[in-house]
Amino acid sequence: MVFPSFQIRTDTDELMDDFSITDERLTEALEQLRWVNRLLGGYSTTMAILAPFLQSRAGQVTRILDLGTGIADFPEYIVRWAEAQSVDIPIEITAVDANPATIDYAQQTLEKRLNDRQRAKISLEVADALALPYADHAFDIGMGAMFLHHFAQPKAIAIVKDLQRVSQHGIIINDLHRHPLAYAGIYSLTRLLPAAPMVRHDGPLSVLRGFRANDLTTIAEGAGLTDFSLRWYFPFRWLLSTVRRERSK
C-alpha cells in the first residue's frame, strides 16, 4: 500500500457522486454502507447527541431533516431506536438525497424493512443540499451523516449554513477523520472482505476527502456558527453540532 498525503483534502470524485450509475453497482454499495455505519460507529456517533436531545423532548414531536440519506438507513435506525425507548418519542423524519435513483431504492428498501407504522414516520424526497426548499426553522434538527465530505470547502460551508437555517434547535454533522490509520483500516477491510466495487473504490477515497479538526472548525466558522461543539469519536469520526439538550419542563 502506498500512502498518499493527508495534509489537505483530496478533490478526487467518488463513484457514488456519479449519478449516471444507477444499477447494482450503486444499490450493492448502498446496502453495504448500512453495515459500515453499524460496525464502524456511524450510528452511535450521531446518537451521542441526538439520543439525549430526543429523550429530553419525550412526548413532543421532533422533526428531523437527514441530508444525503442514501438508503435511509439512519432514519430507519432512529425510528427503530425511538420505538425501543420506555418513553414516547414521536418523530417525523424528512430524508433527502439529490440522486433520484438512490431515493427510489431507499423507498423500495424501507417498504420491505419497516412496518406501516414505522414507515409513516419517514418521508423521502429528492432535494439539493445546496438549495434546500424548506422554510427557516422547518425542522427541529438537521443532520448529515457521512455526507459533508463529498463537498469542497466552499460548498460545505454553504450546506452547513443552510442546514442551520432550517433547523430550529441545531444541526448534527457526523463525518470522517482524515488519518493514515483510518485510511489503512478501510483499505484493508475492503480488500479482505467481499466489498462491493464501489465501496472498495470509495472507502479509502472518502477518508482522503474527510476532515481534520481545523477543517471542520473553518467550515463551522465560515457558516456563521457561533456556538458549536466538535468532538472525536472512535473509530475516526468527527461530530460537529450546535444542538443543546432541552431542559426538562
Q: Using CA atoms, how far apart are residues 106 and 109, in angstroms rounded to an integer?
A: 5
Range list of H helices, the chain: 24-39, 42-56, 73-83, 100-113, 116-119, 153-165, 180-192, 197-208, 213-222
- Residue numbers in the chain where pLDDT is lower than 50: 247-249
Residue 13 domain-assigned (yes or no): no
Q: What is the pLDDT of residue 35?
A: 85
Q: 59-84: per-residue pLDDT in tens?
A: 999 999 999 999 999 999 999 999 99
Give me the sign of the Cα torsion angle 33, 38, 39, 45. positive
C-alpha cell at 180: 493514515
We report the CATH number of the domain holding residue 104 as 3.40.50.150
In sequence order, what are the residues at sequence separation of 6 or more whose Cβ sits closer than 8 angstroms to the Cβ of residue 2? none
Residue 107 domain-assigned (yes or no): yes
Residue 44 domain-assigned (yes or no): yes
Q: What is the pLDDT of residue 88?
A: 96
Residue 88 domain-assigned (yes or no): yes
Q: 45-58: per-residue pLDDT in tens?
A: 999 999 999 999 99
Q: What is the pLDDT of residue 246?
A: 55
Q: Are 4 and 208 in contact (CB under 8 A)?
A: yes
The count of domains in the chain is 1
Q: Using CA atoms, how far apart are residues 103 and 97, in angstroms rounded to an integer?
A: 6
| Among candidate residues 36, 71, 238, 244, the one with its CA nearest the CA of residue 148 | 238
C-alpha cell at 87: 418513553
- Domain limits for position 51: 26-241
According to DSSP, the residues that pair with 176 across neighbouring strands are 237
Residue 90 domain-assigned (yes or no): yes
Q: Using CA atoms, how far apart are residues 68 and 17, in angstroms rounded to an integer?
A: 11
Residue with cell 443552510: 162
Q: What is the pLDDT of residue 38?
A: 85
User: Crossing angle, helix 24-39 and helix 73-83, to 10 degrees?
Assistant: 40
Residue 68 domain-assigned (yes or no): yes
Residue 12 domain-assigned (yes or no): no
101: exposed, middle or buried (Cβ count in 10 Å: 0-12, 13-18, 19+) = middle
Residue 247 domain-assigned (yes or no): no
Q: Using CA atoms, how far apart are residues 129 and 159, in angstroms rounded to an integer?
A: 6
In sequence order, what are the residues at sequence separation of 6 or more whose Cβ sits closer than 8 angstroms to the Cβ of residue 115? none
